[in-house]
């Protein structure tokens, strides 16, 4: 496909070819053309500029930090560059890809329109585009969230990172499923892309790395099945921490794992601000043209509910 995205039915490709060491051949011969020297100089300048930009991006998107606060376990820092990266698992070609919504699910996106979503910023329109059965982040148009709010839930969604792996670490294929706008299950292109463990795909952002790295290659559709139980307070006293179960491409990343608190960048999460046991599902615009499709959500319910 010309846009670099790959069908979910495609088999998982191996490592993308590394063209970085290919000799550069512009196809020029010494024609004696006096303009050739100028053209070559310009081309060389362009290449050097590109290299500088790449270096700048790598500097901007560091792979982790060594000066952030220690997490409550006292072992690792927030976004710790030294924290072990999870083992890589090659997931099956598909898992819950294309899973039809059960009858009691609320379909948030069926591939046709964004009517169930609004811009996170009040009064701003949703800028993401819809085509070919998916929605795509229009970078800088803004994070979106569901108009409705949901209590403890089971959520299914599928995503694809851009087919061309541009930039590195947190700069590559970044988005997020930010539950209630407060608890982020990270979305990132973590296929052969080193970043801090608690920030890679499937991480409980800034808190816990996923148990495994089940990332598929850039452009390949991936599935998330997320079960979330909200935090509870009695007045200002926390009585239950939020927890999450995440299955990524059929691989368990978290099993009823409790959040340390609501999401923070480079700081320790906490539960200082009580919130209702329900909220919107937020999809992050982090400046990358990420794609999402087939999104539905179910209320968990109780035993003997009738």
Nearest approach, Cβ of 201 to Mg ion (angstroms)?
Answer: 9
Q: Residue 90: CB partners within 8 Å, gap ≥ 6?
A: 12
Report the residue number, 105 or 263, with the smaller CB distance to Mg ion: 263
Contact present, 85 and 200 (Cβ < 8 Å):
yes
Within residues 232-291, the interface with Mg ion by CB under 5 A covers: 284
Nearest approach, Cβ of 305 to Mg ion (angstroms)?
Answer: 34
Nearest approach, Cβ of 157 to Mg ion (angstroms)?
Answer: 14
Question: Cα separation of 267 and 147, whole Å?
Answer: 29
Report the residue number, 64 or 176, with the smaller CB distance to Mg ion: 176
* Residue of closest CB approach to Mg ion: 176
Q: State yes or no: residue 199 binds Mg ion (CB under 5 A).
A: no
Nearest approach, Cβ of 136 to Mg ion (angstroms)?
Answer: 16
Question: Cα separation of 185 and 183, whole Å?
Answer: 7
Report the residue number, 142 or 176, with the smaller CB distance to Mg ion: 176
Contact present, 179 and 279 (Cβ < 8 Å):
yes
Nearest approach, Cβ of 2 to Mg ion (angstroms)?
Answer: 27
Nearest approach, Cβ of 179 to Mg ion (angstroms)?
Answer: 12
Total residues binding Mg ion (CB under 5 A): 3
Q: What angle do CA 78, 80, 83 make, to 5 degrees?
A: 125
Burial of 180 (0-12, 13-18, 19+ CB in 10 A): buried
Nearest approach, Cβ of 25 to Mg ion (angstroms)?
Answer: 39
Q: How far are the Cα atoms of 100, 264, 282, 284 from residue 178, in angstroms, in the given order?
A: 23, 12, 5, 7
Report the residue number, 117 or 205, with the smaller CB distance to Mg ion: 205
| Backbone angles phi and psi of 278, in degrees to 5 | -160, 160
What is the DSSP annotation of 131-160?
Answer: ETTEEE--TTS--EEESS-BSSEEEEEEEE
Report the residue number, 111 or 127, with the smaller CB distance to Mg ion: 127
Stretch that binds Mg ion, among 63-71, 78-86, 175-183, 289-297 (CB under 5 A): 175-183
Two tokens, residue 116: 């169930």
What is the per-residue binding string for Mg ion in 115-154, x denoting contact by CB under 5 A?
A: ----------------------------------------
Q: Which residue in 86, 162, 176, 219 binds Mg ion (CB under 5 A)?
A: 176
For binding to Mg ion (CB under 5 A), which residues are involved?
174, 176, 284
């Amino acid at each position: 496909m010309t846009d670099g995205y790959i069908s979910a039915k495609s088999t998982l490709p191996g490592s993308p070819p590394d063209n970085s060491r290919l000799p550069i051949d512009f196809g020029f011969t010494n024609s004696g053309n006096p303009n050739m020297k100028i053209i070559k100089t310009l081309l060389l300048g362009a290449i050097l500029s590109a290299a500088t930009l790449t270096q700048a991006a790598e500097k901007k998107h560091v792979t982790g930090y060594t000066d952030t606060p220690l997490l409550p376990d006292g072992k690792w820092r927030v976004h710790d560059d030294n924290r072990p990266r999870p083992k890589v698992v090659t997931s099956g070609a598909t898992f819950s890809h294309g899973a039809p919504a059960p009858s009691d699910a609320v379909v948030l996106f069926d591939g046709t329109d964004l009517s169930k979503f609004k811009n996170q910023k009040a009064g701003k329109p949703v800028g993401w585009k819809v085509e070919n059965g998916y929605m795509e982040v229009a970078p800088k148009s803004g994070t979106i969230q569901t108009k409705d709010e949901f209590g403890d839930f089971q959520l299914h969604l599928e995503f694809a990172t851009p087919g061309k792996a541009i930039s590195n670490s947190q700069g590559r294929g970044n988005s997020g499923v930010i539950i209630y706008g407060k608890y982020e299950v990270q979305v990132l292109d973590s296929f052969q892309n080193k970043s801090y463990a608690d920030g890679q795909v499937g991480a409980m952002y800034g808190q816990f790395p996923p148990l495994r790295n089940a990332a598929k290659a850039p452009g390949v559709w991936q599935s998330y099945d997320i079960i979330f139980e909200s935090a509870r307070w009695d007045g200002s006293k926390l009585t239950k921490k939020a927890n999450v179960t995440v299955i990524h491409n059929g691989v368990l990343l978290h099993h009823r794992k409790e959040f340390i608190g609501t999401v923070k960048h480079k700081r320790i999460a906490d539960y200082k601000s009580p919130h209702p046991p329900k909220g919107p599902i937020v999809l992050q615009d982090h400046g990358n043209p990420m794609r999402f499709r087939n999104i539905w959500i179910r209320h968990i319910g109780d035993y003997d509910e009738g």
